[in-house]
Chain A
Amino acid sequence: MNGKTIKVGYLARVEGEGSLYLKMDHGQVSDVKLKIFEPPRFFEAFLRGRGYQEVPDITARICGICPVAYQMSSVQAMEHACAITIPQDLLTLRRLLYCGEWIESHTLHIFMLHAPDFLGLPNVVAMAKQYPDLVKRALFIKKTGNAIITLLGGREVHPINVRLGGFYKIPKTETFKNLLPDLENARDNCLETLEWLSTLNFPDFERDYEFVALRHNDKYAMNEGRIVSSKGIDIDPDQFTEIIEETHAPYTNALHARIRGRGAYLCGPLARFSLSYEHLPNSLKTAASRAGIEGGTCNPFKSILVRMIEVIFAFEEAIKIIKNFTQPAEPYVEVPARSGIGCAATEAPRGLLFHRYQIDDSGNILDARIVPPTSQNQLSIEDDLRQAVPHQMHLDTEKLQAFCEQTIRNYDPCISCSTHFLKIKQVTNTVETEAFDK
């Protein structure tokens, strides 16, 4: 064993261990398989029979990077099943919690996993040697996002303060206000960083994606809104399964999601940015324009810029929420059980996260379905590789391998191993690329 084994349980539903098989014949990709071989973890199965109040704590364990997303989708789906409307002030606090997660998750990916690709460096340790101030800045930004989750969620990872109907306890007003200096400082750091990121060298590559994301009438969507697409979908979250189908491919343990009758689609930052662009504050539209992505981008390599804009947005939003914060009358509203089916979709950092539950009169869960963003993006990742790699055949084996890894990391999938992901071998007239992280 060489030590490449999962050490802690920060694995998403199936996105822990993955590999890539990519075969080239005569300059074309003849086969590409993104393989997720992390064994199924059966969360949907063992949710059955559990109490409806348990969903935020159980589903938070699906992912150590985006537990808030799982909590938000699960509680909102359950509240939908119980026909309970949550007061706006509590919804706003949920949005604040989500801001913390977007900040910490995006910052981790931008600096620790994605930026080294653009700099031709193997990992963040090498990056820290050449760009120490940048990495110090990243750690500060991430810590600031974590502070929001720690305060409102009760702890940094797998928060414990989220419950059906709201929160167990709302921190005191002054503890929120105490976050403001660091939040404002970190936001300013991010604006400077965006300018630096926009100077990176981006491959000239665009695709005609069908973007799918939540969209809200008057704000950049996080945990409220309808599911829309750039090619005409406009549905309530409870219609998700009418539009999206999941199928099993033999080479991967994660289900492939596709739009019925159409095929692959893309969810995540690029989709949100394009579909909710109008709701960004003018200052961020100006920043996006300076970064060369005004109105949206179809270049997946520029997702690093979009993530940075979303981090700045999350800081702006968190600052606004905290400045306007007044203590809610109650930390939660009661959510009495009743027989029913409830659905919800929220925007995890990586994209749309759909939950659906059926419960009985006593609140026992009869059925659960969870569709995470990485499984929704699998086909799109493969299509990116299929179309982008033929333009890179002039690269030597090592650089081609790095390009394949970078193309996958554009999506911030949980399968991406931050340092060495691929093993590659060259055979006559063919390049076979096989990725392993162990």
Chain B
Amino acid sequence: MKKSGLLIGIGNALRSDDAAGLEVARRLKTILQTYDICESDGEPGKLMKLWEAYDNVIIVDAVVSGNSHLGAVHLWDTSKKALPTNHWMSSSHVLGLSEAIELARALGKLPARIAVIGIESSCFSFSESLSPAVEAGIEHVVKLLISKEQTSYA
């Protein structure tokens, strides 16, 4: 049965800290009662498809702001305001999360409420291991979201 909200963990499990968003999604999969949980590689078309049936979406992803300590947790309400463009990595053929959100906004395909949680990361080499500080950031986000849900229903 569809839940009222959707949490999307974004990342690549083979690229060290880039798995941070995926890891949050995996740890919350059987815990959150009001959010469906899914994982994504962040491709804009797929993101739009994932969230099209939801008005309330949370995205978790690794970020590199360069001005926060490793494992720091960032929170952006992107319902009406664009994400910073330089916190996400881009490659030759892949749009970053900020571009994906703005593309959806331009096409009228953005959920009414959409928040992005970023976990400050630094290592994106080939590995399935997370940096200890990023691991701590993941755990912080997990507790934060559990607490938020419990508070909402207290």
Interface of B is mostly: loop
Asked if B87 contacts A108 (CB within 8 A), the reply is no
B154 is an interface residue with CB less than 8 A from chain A: no
Knowing A125-B102, A132-B108, A139-B48 touch, does A7 contact B94 (C-beta < 8 A)? yes
Asked if B91 contacts A128 (CB within 8 A), the reply is no
B89 vs chain A, min Cβ distance (A): 3
A257 is an interface residue with CB less than 8 A from chain B: no
Complex alpha-carbon distance, A8 and B12, angstroms: 6
A143 is an interface residue with CB less than 8 A from chain B: yes
B residues within 8 A CB of A1? 64, 66
Asked if B93 contacts A124 (CB within 8 A), the reply is no
Q: Of B18, B64, B92, which is within 8 A of A16 by CB?
A: B92
A residues within 8 A CB of B124? 5-7
Q: How many contacting A-B pairs (Cβ < 8 A)?
A: 111
A residues within 8 A CB of B14? 9
Map CB proximity to B onto A1-39 as digits: 1 under 8 Å, 0 otherwise.
Answer: 111111111111001100000000000000000000000
B41 vs chain A, min Cβ distance (A): 6
Complex alpha-carbon distance, A112 and B45, angstroms: 12
Complex alpha-carbon distance, A108 and B48, angstroms: 16
Complex alpha-carbon distance, A128 and B99, angstroms: 11
A residues within 8 A CB of B12? 7-9
Complex alpha-carbon distance, A129 and B96, angstroms: 18
B133 is an interface residue with CB less than 8 A from chain A: no
Complex alpha-carbon distance, A142 and B46, angstroms: 11
The 4 A-B pairs with the shortest beta carbon distances in the complex, nearest first, are A7-B89, A128-B106, A3-B86, A5-B89
24 interchain pairs, CB-CB under 8 A: A1-B64, A1-B66, A3-B66, A3-B86, A5-B64, A5-B124, A6-B91, A7-B91, A7-B124, A8-B12, A8-B18, A8-B91, A8-B94, A10-B92, A64-B93, A123-B99, A124-B103, A128-B103, A128-B107, A135-B107, A143-B45, A157-B41, A416-B93, A417-B92
Residues of B within 8 A of A (CB): 11-12, 14-15, 18, 41-42, 44-45, 48-49, 62-66, 85-96, 99, 102-103, 106-108, 124, 126
Query: In the complex, given contacts A2-B86, A3-B96, what are 15 additional A-B residue pairs having Cβ atoms less than 8 angstroms apart?
Result: A3-B90, A5-B64, A5-B124, A6-B124, A7-B15, A7-B42, A7-B124, A16-B92, A65-B93, A129-B106, A139-B45, A157-B41, A413-B92, A414-B93, A416-B92
Residues of A within 8 A of B (CB): 1-12, 15-16, 64-65, 108-109, 112-113, 123-125, 128-129, 132, 135-136, 139, 142-143, 146, 157, 413-419, 437
